[in-house]
Structure formats: structure tokens, C-alpha cells
Amino acid sequence: MQIFNTLTRKKEEFVPQKPGEYRIYVCGPTVYNYIHIGNARPVVVFDTLRRYLEYRGNKVLYVSNITDIDDKLIKKAQEQGCTMKEVAEKFEAEFIRDSDGLNAMTPTVRPRATEH
């Protein structure tokens, strides 16, 4: 399988570092508002890739982060008169609900920026 490498700007053979084990890190949403097409696209695309790799008998570690600290979150919290954490928690839950609605598998790991 070939995949576009944004670093080299070329299609390259998608080869895991360890045969049969793929590690995929996908930049997840900044949770300051409801999901939009820019958030939904990677959910669908990388869920499809993950399912295909697993279907082919591979092990997949799929990581998709949650950005829960950002100027947009601070601004939204100020507008709503609440904490940044409250905004992040609300929209993270909404993102997960919408991802579930897209029938996407839950990432193996979903780290929050504030925890790492």
C-alpha cells in the first residue's frame, strides 16, 4: 500500500517499523466548539485505514489526541463565563458522541494535551 508522506511530499510504500504492527498518531480536535467537517474527515479516513490494517491481520496502535488547551478555549470560556476545562469537557464529550455517530472505533489511546 502506498500513502502520501507529507515530509517528503511523495507517495511511498506504507511499511511499519515492526512487521505486522502499525502505529498511527492522528492529530485530534481542539475541543472549543462542535465537530465540523475538518474534525470529521480524519476520524473517518484514519478509522478506515485502521480497520483495513486490522482486517489484514495487523496489530494497530491508534492514538488520537484531544487538544484541551488553546487560545480558542480560553476565549470561549471567557465568553461563556466558565472555566476552560468546563468548555473542553463539554466539547470533548460532544466530539466523542459525534465520532460514535460516525461509527468510528475508539482510539487505542486518546491523550489530552493538558495531561502530557
> Which CATH number fits the domain that encloses residue 36?
3.40.50.620
Nearest to 78 by CA among 32, 42, 112: 32
Mean pLDDT to the nearest integer, 5-28:
94
Residue range 95-108: average pLDDT? Answer: 97
For residue 2, being part of any structural domain is answered with no
Contact 35, 45 (CB under 8 A): no
Residue 116 is predicted with a pLDDT of 87
Question: Within a domain: residue 3?
Answer: no
State pLDDT tens for residues 38-78: 999 999 999 999 999 999 999 999 999 999 999 999 999 99
* Predicted pLDDT at 96: 97
Which pLDDT score, from 0 to 100, does residue 36 have? 93
Q: What band does 112 get if pLDDT is binned at 50, 70 and 90?
A: very high
Task: Quote the CA–CA distance of 47 and 28 in Å, as a whole number.
Answer: 12
How many independent structural domains does the chain possess?
Answer: 1
Q: Give the separation between CA 53 and CA 108, rounded to whole angstroms.
A: 14
Q: Does 14 fall in a domain?
A: no
Residue 13 placed within a domain: no
| 99: pLDDT strictly greater than 90 | yes
Contact call for residues 67 and 113 (beta carbons, < 8 A): yes
Residue 10, domain member (yes or no): no
Instruction: Look over the chain and give the mean of its residue pLDDT values, rounded to a whole number.
Output: 96
In a domain, 7, yes or no: no
pTM across the whole model? 0.90
Q: Is residue 94 part of a domain?
A: yes
Strands annotated E in 1-115 = 2-5, 10-13, 21-26, 59-64
